[in-house]
Amino acid sequence: MPIISYQIAKLNTMSHELQNEDEFVNELQNFSAFVLVIGHGSRGQYKNVEKAKQDLDKMIQIFKFQFDIEDKIAVLFGGDPFRRHVHDIAHLIKHLHSKNLKVFAVHPNEYNNQKTYIDEYVDHVLYVPSIYDSAGNMVWGGMDDNCRPRGPTAVYLGDRLIELGKPFCLLVLGGGPTALEEIKYAYSKSLNILYTVCEAKNQENGVYGAVHDWAQANLSHFEQ
């Protein structure tokens, strides 16, 4: 099997580093609405990333129509780095940025020291304390043992953002176990969720990812 070398995007010095959650929330007050994009990460990836981009465009239009929004939509995500040969959620976020939407990333602060995970499509970045499991592996988000949001999830699905009262929707295009925890939590908070089926390239969590069965059973606007 040939070995493929992936180069992480270089530091984008144009990104605005937010110092704390106060600055994150204050910056978002300048926008009319927010979307949190959730999808396949580097392990699952997209079997057809171009179709996923088209589906995401449709979801943005649905969100705009439902809430009568013309512009000033902020895009939130967990900060996955863009790698050309890894067809994961970073490709979708970069696509939205190319359409002049502003992107907010929330990263574990382990990567603040490496200075390699700020991509050119990220407009604002907030670093949060890194969390590790019992095996010493970094946890990217999701829920803790008490079903409370942790890591980046505690910011982009935090009460302070929700309590701004602005239109807020999760756009879910696949995803693994952490994504499933996040959409379950959002559902418990009565947040808007749009889901579309996106086949995974690597199917260790099922053909459409770990989110699929739950979404099919629980989301009334499920798209087949």
pLDDT in tens, 116-174: 456 889 999 999 988 888 888 888 899 998 999 999 999 999 999 999 999 999 999 99
Q: What is the pTM of this model?
A: 0.90
What are 42-100's pLDDT values in tens digits? 999 999 999 999 999 999 999 999 999 988 999 999 988 899 999 999 999 999 999 99
Give backbone dihedrals phi and psi of 163, rounded to 5 degrees, phi first.
Answer: -75, -5
The tally of CA atoms less than 13 A away on the side-chain side of residue 163 is 6
Alpha-carbon gap, residue 100 to 114, rounded angstroms: 28
Q: How many CB atoms lie within 10 A of CB 2?
A: 3
* Chain position carrying tokens 């295009």: 173
The gap from C-alpha 62 to its chain's centroid, in whole angstroms, comes to 18
